[in-house]
Amino acid sequence: MEDRDVVIIGGGPAGYVAAIRVSQLGGKATLIENDAIGGTCLNRGCIPARALVRGVEFIELARNARDYGVSYPETEVDLAKMMARKATVVKTVVSGVKLLLEGNGVELINGTASFLSPSQLEVNLDDGTKREIAARRIIIATGSGSKKATVSGGKVIDTTQALELGEIPRSMLVMGGGFIGLAFATIFSRLGTAVTVIEPSRPILPEIDNEVVSILERELKKSKIRFYNEAPAGLAADYILTTDREANTEGLGLEKAGVELNDKGGIAVNRHMETSAPNIFAAGDVTMERMWTHVAFAEGMVAAQNALGRDSEIDYSVVPCFAHTFPEVAGVGITEEAAKRQGYQLKIGRFPLAANANATILGQRTGMIKLISEAKYGQILGVHIIGPQASGLIAEAALAMKLDATPEDIGLTMHGHPTLSEALWEAARDVSGETIHFISPNR
């Protein structure tokens, strides 16, 4: 039986970050991965999907270039080259993570781990041999996988398969209008696929403010994406894309370790990322809670810190979310609707991107920034954005909320000109009716 300090099972965002953090704190990290370093996000999720979104962005850029005095020949899509570029991006990012692990002295074992007891693991190596490892602390970060679905009306594929298609489908039915589903709907609709999205909850994206979502849905419909609460009778498509996920716990032997599951089928953890078993932690999608890569990063760090004796607690109060659509949407905190349900008295600031100079320069004037604040003390409860680069712009709002900044604080902070970030500055000033480049209705 080999002895190890901290063993991390799974080399995705939660796992590799946990391994790096263990090393930073002076511990010795052993990372066990049975597939590719980087997990779903880097290999089969957000990185390749965003690379394809970037590819289809050029279709729109070429189409609008004439407005800037630049003419291109007829735009042609070479799907094989687009997929090859995506693969290059993935390879580059994954290689960078491998170098980070090596540079931090993380031991990497290629194999599949399962529990023999709460402190012992059996590892089936890729070469067919086995190793037994005793660990003082174990972090489970095995992530999630596509949930099998039985749907009729076309060839059923998951998101991994969608990222490897060798043809542009004539039609696609996307089961789920969440952040993942809408990103794929965006990609394929821009490639010319007739896309239909089935989403039972209306409006779509309940985490994003209704006012923002209504603009998004209107714009997506312009791209000929159709929305239904349920699949109409007789509806068929070349491909049916399923987006549901489930925790990767099969074969781990959690019962031998005394690790319990939550009501979502993921590993149950507390705010310290501790499981029901002493000295065993879990982080990332395997918990089936707040399934975002940036959340997995944070959870991996908290798990690593507590594995080395720190007293760290995860803070979910400020979690940005976003969809790589055209235009992008992003949000942090609660919506106006949720704030009213919770009994808050509100002051709301808005700023349309049509009044922002840089949005006009970019030719992307559709959108707005909406800031929701508590009326008496100025606490920022939520910020929701639709427009270009929304996924990046939301970071300033998240930082402001984390630091308990008020709309006045943002409004007194100089923002570069011309930039899209000025729109957040203006939305913050609009809370008190003091926008500069727009006649505020709050005056």
Catalytic residues: 417
CA 146 to chain centre: 15
Cα 306-307-313 angle, rounded to 5 deg: 20
d(CA 312, CA 206): 30
Distances (CA, A) of 170 to 165, 223, 302: 12, 15, 45
Residue 350: half-sphere exposure toward Cβ, Cα within 13 Å = 14
What b-and-e string marks burial along 73-90, b requiring 16 or more CB atoms within 10 Å of the CB? eeeeeeeeebbeebeebb
The per-residue DSSP string of 119-141 comes to: TEEEEEETTS-EEEEEEEEEEE-
Q: Is 251 helix (H, G, I), strand (E, B) or coil?
A: coil
* Contact (Cβ atoms closer than 8 angstroms) between residue 334 and residue 396: no
Q: Which of 414, 423, 411 is nearest to 357 (CA)?
A: 423
